[in-house]
Chain A
C-alpha cells in the first residue's frame, strides 16, 4: 500500500511536469500579445521596449527554462494586462470558484443520492419515472442555457434573485465568502443551481443503477429472507455497497465542476478564476492563462491522487490488482 502510494505520487509529479511543458508550448503559440497591449500609435522603439520588457525576444526554450525556474519558486510571471503576479490574481479569485463549486456539489449530493435511491427502490412507480425523465433533461440541457433560463425566470421576470456578481462577502478565517450573509446567499443560489443540475442528474442516475443492481444480488435477498427491516437492508447493506463507485465519481466530478465553473462564472459575472481565464484569453494575457491551467492541472492531479488512494483503501480488489501489476 505504501509502495503503491509512493508510485502514484511519483507518477503525479511526472504528469505535472509534462503538463507544464504542454501548457507552456501551446499557450505561447497563441498570437502576439504585443499587438494588443501596445497602442497602435506606438513607434518602433516603444514596441521594442515592450517586447524586451515581456521577455518575448528570447528563444522559446530559454523562456521555458526561465518560466520553469520561476514556477518552482512559486512565481508564474506577471500578468501582461494587470502588471501584477499572475499566481496572485488566480489565488485571489480561487475562493470564489471553490465556494461556487462546493455549493454546487453539496446540492448535487444532497438531492441526487436520495432521489436515485428512491427511483432505484421503486423503479416502476410514477415518481421514479418522473425522476428518471427529469434526470435526462438535467444532463441534456447545456449548463450555459440552464443559467440563461434561470436568469430569465428568476431575475428578469420575477425579480427575486440577482443575475450577476457575488454580492457582499464576509471574511471567514481571512477568506472572503458569500454564504454567510443573506444577500450573499441570494447571489450564490442561481449560479450554484446552474452548476449543480448536471451533477445532480448524474448522481441520481448512478445511484439508481447501483441500487437496482444491488437489489438483485443474493446478499440483499438473504438479508431480506433473514427478516431485516427494509430500512436496514437499504440503509446498511445496499447503501454501503453502492457508495464506493459513487464516492469515486463524486471525487472525479470535482474537477469537472471546477472546469464547468468557467461557463457559470461567465454567465453570472461571478468573480472567480474561470471568468478570469475567459477574460485573459480575450486579451491574450499569456501568464494568466498559463497560471490558471497550471493551478487547475495541479488541483486535478491532486484530486485524482486522493481518489485513487481512497479507492484502493476502500476496495480490496483494486489493491490486489495493483499488487499484482
Chain B
C-alpha cells in the first residue's frame, strides 16, 4: 500500500506543478457542477413550452423580456433563454460522453485483459480486429452506425462505444503484457486463485494509470464526436438538445448576423473539452517516465 501512496502522492505533486492543469481541473469541476445543478441554476426550463414567449425570440445578449427577466446570452428562434438551454445542453453532452466512455472502457479493458492473458491465437485474432478498427477514423464508424440506426440517446451511446472500445483494448493489453511477467502475478497463479480474480483483482488495478489517461482524453473525444454527429443531424433527437444540436439550430441564424444562438453553445462545448484536455495532458506528462526529472 505504501508504494501506491507514494506513487499517488508523486503524481498529485507532479500534476499540481502545472498551474494550467490546476486551472483546467477547477474549470472542469465548475462545469460539471453547473451541468448537474442545471435545473436549479437555469433562469427558465427551456423545454417547458409554457415558459417560452415567441415575442421574445432572437433577442440579442443582455436584452430584457416584457416581464423584466434579462436574457444574458440572448434567445433562440423560439424565444428560449440561451443560458438555460446551454446549461441543460451541457447535462446531455456530458452525460452522453461520460456514459459512452465508461461503457467503452469496461468493454475495452475486459477484452484487452483477456487477450493479454489468453495469448496465442485468441490474442492475435482479437488484436487483429482492434488494429483493423483503429485503422478507420472513429467519426466514420460512428457516422455509418448512426445512419443505420437512426437518432436516439441509446443509439448514440452505442455508436460512441463501438467507435472507441478498441483504444482501451489496445492500451490495456499493452500494459497487461508488461505486468503479467511480474512476480505478484506469479504468486497469485501459484496460490491457485480463480482466473477472474487474478485478472480483475490483481492485474486491472496495476494497468489503471495508462487507462485513466486514455479515458480522460476519450471523454473529451466522445463529447466532441457526439456534438459533431448531432450537428450533422445524425446524433440526438430534437427532444434531447445537446450542445451540438443547439449549435446546428443556430447555424441558420449565424449567416444573418445573429451569432449568439450558435456561438455561445459552442463556447460552452469548447471550454468543456479544453478543460478535460488540460487535465488529461498533464496526467499523461506526469505518468510518462521518460519525462520524469
Residues of A near any B CB (own CB < 8 A): 15, 23, 26-27, 29-31, 133, 136-137, 139-145, 148-149, 151-152, 155-156, 163, 212-213, 252, 255-256, 259-260, 262-263, 266, 278, 281-282, 289, 293, 296-297, 300-301, 304
Interface of B is mostly: helix
Bound Cα distance from A30 to B251, whole angstroms: 28
Judging by beta carbons under 8 Å apart, are B255 and A293 in contact? no
Q: How far is the CB of A319 from chain B (nearest CB, A)?
A: 18
Interface residue ranges of B229-284 to A (CB < 8 Å): 231-234, 244, 247, 251, 254-255, 257, 259, 262-263, 266, 269-270, 273-274, 276-278, 281
Bound Cα distance from A82 to B137, whole angstroms: 29
Judging by beta carbons under 8 Å apart, are B148 and A148 in contact? no
- Among A31, A136, A304, point to the contact of B274 (Cβ < 8 A): A136
B83 on the interface (CB 8 Å rule)? no
Q: How far is the CB of A309 from chain B (nearest CB, A)?
A: 14
Known contacts A30-B147, A281-B234: A136-B140 contact under CB 8 Å:
no
* Closest A residue, CB atoms, query B281: A136
B84 on the interface (CB 8 Å rule)? no
Judging by beta carbons under 8 Å apart, are A163 and B255 in contact? yes
Residues of B within 8 A of A213 (CB): 290-291
Q: How far is the CB of A275 from chain B (nearest CB, A)?
A: 11
Judging by beta carbons under 8 Å apart, are A262 and B143 in contact? yes
Residues of B within 8 A of A139 (CB): 277
Bound Cα distance from A29 to B146, whole angstroms: 12
Q: How far is the CB of B266 from chain A (nearest CB, A)?
A: 4
Residues of B within 8 A of A31 (CB): 150
29 contacts between A and B (CB under 8 A): A26-B144, A26-B148, A27-B148, A31-B150, A136-B274, A136-B277, A140-B220, A140-B224, A141-B270, A141-B274, A142-B228, A142-B244, A142-B266, A144-B227, A144-B228, A145-B269, A145-B270, A148-B247, A151-B255, A156-B255, A163-B255, A255-B137, A256-B137, A259-B140, A260-B137, A262-B139, A262-B143, A263-B139, A289-B147
Bound Cα distance from A141 to B228, whole angstroms: 11
Interface residue ranges of B124-177 to A (CB < 8 Å): 132, 135-137, 139-140, 143-145, 147-148, 150
Bound Cα distance from A237 to B229, whole angstroms: 43
Known contacts A136-B274, A141-B270, A149-B263: A255-B20 contact under CB 8 Å:
no
Q: How far is the CB of A257 from chain B (nearest CB, A)?
A: 9
Judging by beta carbons under 8 Å apart, are B147 and A156 in contact? no
Bound Cα distance from A148 to B227, whole angstroms: 13
Judging by beta carbons under 8 Å apart, are A152 and B259 in contact? yes
* Closest A residue, CB atoms, query B140: A259
Residues of A within 8 A of B281 (CB): 136
Judging by beta carbons under 8 Å apart, are A140 and B274 in contact? yes
Bound Cα distance from A289 to B147, whole angstroms: 10
Judging by beta carbons under 8 Å apart, are A152 and B273 in contact? no
Residues of B within 8 A of A163 (CB): 255
Provide the B65-87 mask, 1 if CB < 8 A to any CB of A, else 0.
00000000000000000000000
Q: Could you list 20 further interchain pairs (A-B, Cβ under 8 angstroms) beyond the known A144-B232, A144-B247? A: A23-B144, A26-B148, A27-B148, A133-B20, A136-B274, A136-B281, A140-B273, A141-B273, A142-B227, A145-B227, A145-B266, A213-B290, A213-B291, A252-B135, A255-B136, A259-B139, A260-B137, A262-B140, A262-B143, A297-B136
Residues of B within 8 A of A262 (CB): 139-140, 143, 232
Q: How far is the CB of B135 from chain A (nearest CB, A)?
A: 5
Judging by beta carbons under 8 Å apart, are A15 and B132 in contact? yes
Bound Cα distance from A255 to B147, whole angstroms: 20
Residues of A within 8 A of B290 (CB): 213
Q: How far is the CB of B244 from chain A (nearest CB, A)?
A: 8
Judging by beta carbons under 8 Å apart, are B20 and A143 in contact? no
Bound Cα distance from A252 to B291, whole angstroms: 26
Bound Cα distance from A212 to B135, whole angstroms: 28
Residues of A within 8 A of B233 (CB): 278, 282
* Closest A residue, CB atoms, query B231: A144
Q: How far is the CB of B133 from chain A (nearest CB, A)?
A: 11
Bound Cα distance from A148 to B258, whole angstroms: 12
Judging by beta carbons under 8 Å apart, are A156 and B231 in contact? no
* Closest B residue, CB atoms, query A258: B137
Bound Cα distance from A104 to B234, whole angstroms: 25
